Amino acid sequence: MIFNHQKTNEILNWFEQINQIPRESGHEQAICQWLINWAKQNNFAIKTDSVQNLLIKVPASNGYENAPIVILQGHLDMVCEKKPDSTHDFRKDPIKMIVDGDWLRADKTTLGADNGIAIAMAMTIAMDNNIPHPPLELLFTIDEETGLHGASAIKPGFFDGRILINIDSEQEGYLTIGCAGGCNTNIALPIEWARIPSNYQLVTIKAGGMTGGHSGIEIHAERANAIKVLAQTLNFIRQQTEIRLVNFTGGTAHNAIPRDAKAIVFIPQSEIEKIKATLRKMEESLKAEYQQTDPYLFLKIENNDDNSMQAITNTDTVIDLLIALPHGVATLSSQNIASLVETSNNLASIRIQGNNLKILTSQRSAVESKLEFLTQRIEAIARLAGCIVYSDNRYAAWQPQMDSPLLAISCKIYEQMFRKQPIIDVIHAGLECGIIAEKSSAKLDMISIGPTIKYAHSPDEKLLIGTVGKVWDFLLELLKNLRSGF
């Protein structure tokens, strides 16, 4: 890859090397060891903890030895989503990168720019002896995408910096200074099985082709949730005929809006053609409803040759539960930030495991009390359906500090460089800054920046190449001006 901005070439070359190494959440051992080997080769001090968070210390450049230590922070893992026809194995296959005009994307998978681009930028800075910068701590956390587990596991004293620049935001020209907190709710509905008479036909009903996306950044777009679409479809079918559920699967990650879902069901043989006609009408209605957000939405019904003759006896409870569980924006912020989502829920995934139907939801809110209320509501709905339910993976919101000295100097530098003011942003997605700040013995001054990434957490993820150089130039100028504090 060759681009006009010299450092863009270097950054994306590092990123391409990073993308050769599988780094699914919970499986970061290989990328962590690769970075340790790189640090050792360059005589950088290394520190790891019990969960494999990694800290690499880069000495200050000449004249910056007494400057405040700056933490450059990102996470090692990536969301692993692929299109239904992709054969990619995220446990062993490298990500294939494709330059598509002004954008960089992958071949039918997530690209991993979230957050591999942070690792690549930090490495590029560390390798350039001509860049003026304070002492640096490159802090790379594990397992961010499944619940910010790595950041939560950091022990006090793991890092020394008092200034933190997170490189996990996804819009160039934005300075992020706050984010929502969140938690997950795990629902288990006990199910029982019974035999089905021979005059029933086993079929598979699929809901797919939906756009999906990041459940924090894109929840406001009101895109279709495949689990909800399929539950709505099954609800419509059962109003016309008896239906018995054998299996229901959908969704892959707590922070990704489900794009595909599949149900295996028994339907009376005499009703099959009628149901096919019903699905065509249902698909037409849904495509009209989601024509702006999910133009490729589809419903399909296929004969299933499985010899299973057992189905779930409490099918109605399953459908009722999925209809009742909320998905999408719950409240907008009352603060002076236009259209900022305050509280939301993602109906994230569903599976049948043994004699339990397992459902995962992911709640977010900038207000702790509203996060708690929404979580309690979901738990109450689940209990009313006879489920076993518990909530975990809680993480704190990052509360914005408008009087931040780092924010002030960042705004000044950005305006001088690009002749326009940056946008000060608080996002609904989760960032690790708030959690990391809790691990510091002194107050951390923090901002989050990053190049423009679209459709993160989906196979349509893409990176706007031209913004990599802009973020790089801004970051270097900022580091240059952090010689002696503010």
Residue 2 pLDDT > 70: no
Stretch 429-454: mean pLDDT: 94
Q: Taking the C-alpha atoms of 371, 375, 377 and 380 in order, what is their torsion angle to the nearest 10 degrees? A: -160
Stretch 312-318: mean pLDDT: 96
Residue with tokens 């591999």: 116
Q: Is 392 a catalytic residue?
A: no
Q: Could you say which of 28, 114, 137, 144 is catalytic?
A: 144
What's residue 335's pLDDT?
57
Using alpha carbons, list the distances in angstroms from residue 18 to 15, 116, 118, 360.
5, 7, 11, 30
Residue ranges per domain, the chain?
Answer: 6-180+397-480, 183-395
Residue 309 pLDDT > 90: no
* Gap between the Cα atoms of 93 and 376, Å rounded: 41
- CATH architecture, domain 6-180+397-480: 3-Layer(aba) Sandwich (3.40)
pLDDT single digits (tens) 456-486? 999 999 999 999 999 999 999 999 999 876 5
> Which tokens is 486 given?
């503010």
- Pair 139, 165: CB distance under 8 Å: no
Q: pLDDT band at residue 339, thresholds of 50, 70 and 90?
A: low
What is the residue-averaged pLDDT of the chain? 94
- Pair 474, 422: CB distance under 8 Å: no
Residue 336 pLDDT > 80: no
> Which tokens is 304 given?
């299933």
Q: Is 77 a catalytic residue?
A: yes
Highest mean pLDDT among 143-152, 375-384, 393-402: 375-384
- Pair 96, 82: CB distance under 8 Å: no
* Gap between the Cα atoms of 3 and 14, Å rounded: 14
Can you give the three-state secondary structure of 366-412, one letter per residue? Answer: CCHHHHHHHHHHHHHHHHHCCCEEEEEEEECCECCCCCCHHHHHHHH
Q: pLDDT band at residue 211, thresholds of 50, 70 and 90?
A: very high
What's residue 198's pLDDT?
85
Q: Which CATH class is domain 183-395?
A: alpha beta
pLDDT single digits (tens) 23-73? 999 999 999 999 999 999 999 999 999 999 999 999 999 999 999 999 999
Q: Could you say which of 77, 81, 168, 218 is catalytic?
A: 77
